Each structure stands twice: as C-alpha cells, then as structure tokens.
Chains A and B, each alone.
Chain A
Amino acid sequence: MPYLLQALQSLAVLGLCTLYAGAQTRASAVLQSKRGPSVLQPYRDLAKWLGKSGVVSDQAGWVFHFAPYLAMACYLTVSTIVPVITDQPLPMAFLGDLLGGALVLALASFVMSLAALDTGSPLGGLGASRTTWIGSLAEPALILVFFTVGVLSASDNPYLMNHAIAASPAAMVLPTHLLGAVAFFMLLLAETGHIPIENPAGTIEISMIEESRVLEYSGREYALVKWGGWMKLFLLSAVFMNVFVLPWGLGNGTSLEQGLLGVLAVLGKLAVCGLAIVLIDASFAKLRFFRIAEYLGGAFLLALIGIITSYVVAK
C-alpha cells in the first residue's frame, strides 16, 4: 500500500501540475477582465509539443539534450520526498529532508543553466547568468527559512515539521513561524519566476530571466522543460501549504481512499496558494533587476529575525 500511495503522489504531481498552471493562467486572465484560455490548455500544449520533433542548434552538444531529462528526474525525485498527499513519510521519503530537496531542485536549475550556455545563444547565456545570480542570493535565505521551521519542530524533515505545527496550532501565531512563512512565500515567487522577480506571461526576451534559458528548446524537450517548471511550482506550493500554512487535512497514508482524499485536499489548498500568487501577479510590478537583491535580502532578513526571535519568544 505505501508503494501504491508513493506512485499516486508522484502521479498526482505529474498530472495535476498542469491543471494548477492552467488554473493560474485562467484566473489571472479573469482578473484582467479577459476570458483567458481553458484550464485544460496546458494539457493540450503538452500533447502538442510531445508530438512534435525538435529543431536544435548545430552548436548544441549532448548537455543540451540531456538537461531536460535530468531536470525532470530531479523534480520527480523531489515529488517522492516532500509531503504532498500524506502526512506520513512514504517509502522513498528517506531519500532526503528539506535541505536535500532544495539541493535536488538546485541541481535541476544548474543543469538547465548549463544547457542554456551550451547552445551559445546570447539570450541563453544572459538567462543562465541572471538565474545563477538570483539563485545564489535565494539559496542562503531558503536555508534560513528551513531553520525557522527547524527551531519550532527541532527537525528539518518536512513530515516532522508538518506534525509539529499540526499538533500545536498555537505555534502558527509565533513570530518565528509567521516570518518564516512569509519569507518562504517570497522565495517561492522568486524561484518559480513570478512577479516581482519575473513576469510569467512576459514575451520580451531581453527582460526574461528563467524563460530565456529555454528559448532554444522545441518539440518534446520543450514539453519536458515546461512540464518540469510547472512541477516545480506545484511542489513548492504544496510544501508551502502543507508545512507552513495549513498542515491539516492530509491522509495518514494507510489506504488508497486516504490518498485520494489527500489529493483533493491538496488541490483545495493549492487553490488558495494559487489565488495569492495570481493576486500578486496582478497587483505588483516587476522589480528592476538590481533591486532583486534587495527583495531577496528582505526575505533573508525576515528569516533571520524569525530565528533570532525564536530565542526570546516563549514557545
């Protein structure tokens, strides 16, 4: 049964991340008084791209072809170790804690940057350099955020963090937890290329950050790249909701019904998180590039204050 649930969790991430992305696109169109594409549009896009053959630069080497598969493998690995549909560790959860998950996500980002450099396209190099810069600033802040939850639960295992917060709801209003949650949400926006870091619907190559790394891709590999990006958004949102905001309502991992209920619960939670992201997308402007450091510094600062506060505010 645990292995069945493990498979269900990864399948849910694979199959529903497209729905999550489609719902966000639709919601942000509705916010702008447009009709917008159907919620199912990403599925159609994926089917279309998967059926096409790619056009690849003759400068591209094996790294370029290899990267999307490795990145996809990374996202699938993360989907097995974080709590998405159950609050009990599934058989593969021993693979890593939150720091391990962050490491695997960083590996995916690293190979995508390598692939962007591989074709020698100027925009790819630009994107790789920008993403690496942002990543180098976001990563220390992310580690501090894990420490803020760590001081509350005395662990950096996402399941134990979930249990610690679910068991004592009063911990939700501790300054440490609130600051950590806000900082994690800021980093989530930065890591998944949303406003105020990057406009997810932007089409101007010169101002793109993450998107410009994948401009050279087409066909099946492009489908994998996009799919991977949606999975990353889905996984980070699920961690945000399940560990930081609403640690309740997950199945206990004993039966298939519990798992299916967990899928429904996580969809409901993601609706909340997605709405927040869409509202931010609609109401703020993109930051100028060199002010991104201030934004990420703000996230770092919030997490740091959270940790310092944990020593003075009684638990």
Chain B
Amino acid sequence: MGSPAGVILSLDSVLILLMAFACLGSKLFDRYLTYYGVQSALLAVAAGTAAYVGHDAALWVLAGLTLLLKGYAIPTAARRLLVRRLQLKRDARMFPGLSVTLVVGAGLCGFAYLAIGPQELAHGLLSAAMVPISTAIVLLGALAMVVRRHMVAQLIGWLIMENGVFLGAVTLTSSFPLIVEAGIFFDLIAGFLIMLAMTTGLAERLHPAPPGWRREAL
C-alpha cells in the first residue's frame, strides 16, 4: 500500500475512469453532462490531493477553478444553452452499438496499460496508476467522439479527453506551471464558447424547421 494520498488518488482516478465509461455507456444528453460534472468534481479532488501533498498554492487554485468551471459552470451552461434549447433528449445515433463500444473501451483501457507499462515508470510518483488511467481516459474521450454522431455528444467526448490530459498533468508533474494550465483552461472555455455559438447559430438558421428536424440536422 502506498501513502494515504496515493490511495486516495488511485481510488479517485479509477472513479474518474468509471465516469468516462458511464458517459460512453449512456444514451441521454442530460446524463452525459451529469457524468462530466461528477468527473470534473473528482478531478478537482485529485488536484486538491496533489496540492495538499506538494504544498502547492497554484495547484489549490487549479483545483478550485476545476470544481467551479468544469464541475459546475460548463455542465450548467451546456444544459441550459444546448440541451434545453435544442430539446435534446436521447442520443440514439451511434455506431457501433453500445455493447460493442463498451467492449472496445475496455480494450482501449487494456491497451493504455500495455502501452504505458506502469511497472517501468520512475519511482517516487504520487500514484503510478495515474499515467495509464489518464491515457485510458483520453482514449475513451476520443472513442466517444468517434462513435457518437451528434455534435453535442462529440463536444462532451472532447471535454472528457481534456479531463484525461488534465488528470495526467496535475498528478504527474510536481509543479505544473499555473500559466500553462490556465492557458489550457482558457482554450477550453474558448472552444466551448465557439462550439456554443456555432450550434446556436445553426439552430437559429434552421429556426423555421420543426425541432425534430433541427435535432437531426445538428
């Protein structure tokens, strides 16, 4: 057994991985956002643990920002501005089907472990489980973007990928430059806003069309 912080981080990262799987295995837009919000909150816990161990004020700021922005602001905004406005409910369009996707996801997880080879990682890391798990989360987000056909669902796949990158970055590097992470944060927000503007713009252009048709077109 590692240190208590290592145990918390391992558990937390496995939960984050499970949230990525929950997102991949769900079919309701509302659920995607819920799972993404929970995942981001768990990510904030991971960042907070890393900050506590490293006595790093910048990481504390990051943990707070993550909880506030990713855990609350983005899911809430997406729910109000995308899911409610476009009346999105069920995301049926995916190929291949749900069961195959989950099996492929499990395979990608295994691939991440094989590719990283956590046994060969440097000792002294907070939790060696982080590297393969964050890689697996990135791959799962990419898988969500590949199998889903709907733009909003793909957006969430992209956000999950970003969470995977963030998890790896926060827990691996002892002092992650705040400025880099803040830059990524603002990239994320900017991307989210662009996506929002694009979908709402499209929705307005398609305004005369019936909502069902609009849902299909996006």
- A residues near B (Cβ < 8 Å) are 168, 170-171, 173-175, 178-179, 293-294, 297-298, 300-302, 304-305, 308-309, 311-315
Please give, as numbers and ranges, the residues of chain B lying within 8 Å of A171 by CB-CB distance: 1
- Smallest CB-CB separation from A302: which chain B residue? B18
Please give, as numbers and ranges, the residues of chain B lying within 8 Å of A174 by CB-CB distance: 1, 7, 10
Q: Quick one: which of A171, A297, A312 has the most chain B CB within 10 A?
A: A312
A207 CB to closest chain B CB, in angstroms? 22
Report the Cα distance A171→B6, complex, angstroms: 14
- A179 close to B14 (CB less than 8 A): yes
Q: Does B132 lie at the interface of the complex (its beta carbon under 8 Å from any beta carbon of A)?
A: yes
Please give, as numbers and ranges, the residues of chain B lying within 8 Å of A175 by CB-CB distance: 10-11, 14, 129
The 7 closest A-B pairs by CB, nearest first: A175-B14, A312-B118, A312-B129, A313-B10, A313-B129, A170-B1, A314-B2
- B7 close to A173 (CB less than 8 A): yes
- B25 close to A314 (CB less than 8 A): no
Contact with A along B100-116 (1 / 0, CB 8 A): 00110110011001000
Q: Does B98 lie at the interface of the complex (its beta carbon under 8 Å from any beta carbon of A)?
A: yes
- A315 close to B1 (CB less than 8 A): yes
Dominant SS among interface residues on chain B: helix
- B110 close to A308 (CB less than 8 A): yes
Q: Does B167 lie at the interface of the complex (its beta carbon under 8 Å from any beta carbon of A)?
A: no
**Inter-chain pairs besides A168-B1, A175-B10, A314-B1, 8 sampled, C-beta below 8 Å:** A294-B102, A297-B99, A298-B25, A305-B106, A309-B10, A311-B113, A312-B132, A313-B129
Report the Cα distance A308→B129, complex, angstroms: 10
- A308 close to B113 (CB less than 8 A): yes
- B residues near A (Cβ < 8 Å) are 1-2, 6-7, 10-11, 14, 17-18, 21, 25, 98-99, 102-103, 105-106, 109-110, 113, 118-119, 127-129, 132-133
Please give, as numbers and ranges, the residues of chain A lying within 8 Å of B105 by CB-CB distance: 301
Q: A178-B11, A301-B106 are in contact. Are A309 and B129 (CB under 8 A)?
A: yes
A315 CB to closest chain B CB, in angstroms? 7
- B99 close to A311 (CB less than 8 A): no
Q: A294-B98, A313-B10 are in contact. Are A305 and B129 (CB under 8 A)?
A: no
- Smallest CB-CB separation from B116: which chain A residue? A312
Please give, as numbers and ranges, the residues of chain B lying within 8 Å of A300 by CB-CB distance: 106
Please give, as numbers and ranges, the residues of chain B lying within 8 Å of A308 by CB-CB distance: 109-110, 113
Report the Cα distance A73→B127, complex, angstroms: 48
Please give, as numbers and ranges, the residues of chain A lying within 8 Å of B132 by CB-CB distance: 312
**CB within 8 A of B102: which of A297, A309, A311, A314?**
A297
B2 CB to closest chain A CB, in angstroms? 5
- B10 close to A304 (CB less than 8 A): no
Report the Cα distance A300→B132, complex, angstroms: 20
Report the Cα distance A298→B109, complex, angstroms: 14
- Smallest CB-CB separation from B14: which chain A residue? A175
Report the Cα distance A170→B1, complex, angstroms: 8
Q: A305-B109, A308-B113 are in contact. Are A294 and B128 (CB under 8 A)?
A: no
- B25 close to A311 (CB less than 8 A): no
Please give, as numbers and ranges, the residues of chain B lying within 8 Å of A301 by CB-CB distance: 21, 102, 105-106
A63 CB to closest chain B CB, in angstroms? 34
Report the Cα distance A171→B1, complex, angstroms: 8
Please give, as numbers and ranges, the residues of chain A lying within 8 Å of B21 by CB-CB distance: 301, 305
- A312 close to B113 (CB less than 8 A): yes
- Smallest CB-CB separation from B10: which chain A residue? A313
- A314 close to B6 (CB less than 8 A): yes
Please give, as numbers and ranges, the residues of chain B lying within 8 Å of A179 by CB-CB distance: 14
Q: A297-B102, A312-B128 are in contact. Are A305 and B1 (CB under 8 A)?
A: no
Report the Cα distance A260→B6, complex, angstroms: 41
A101 CB to closest chain B CB, in angstroms? 26
Please give, as numbers and ranges, the residues of chain A lying within 8 Å of B129 by CB-CB distance: 175, 309, 312-313
Please give, as numbers and ranges, the residues of chain B lying within 8 Å of A304 by CB-CB distance: 106, 109-110
Please give, as numbers and ranges, the residues of chain A lying within 8 Å of B11 by CB-CB distance: 173, 175, 178
Report the Cα distance A309→B133, complex, angstroms: 9
Please give, as numbers and ranges, the residues of chain A lying within 8 Å of B128 by CB-CB distance: 312-314
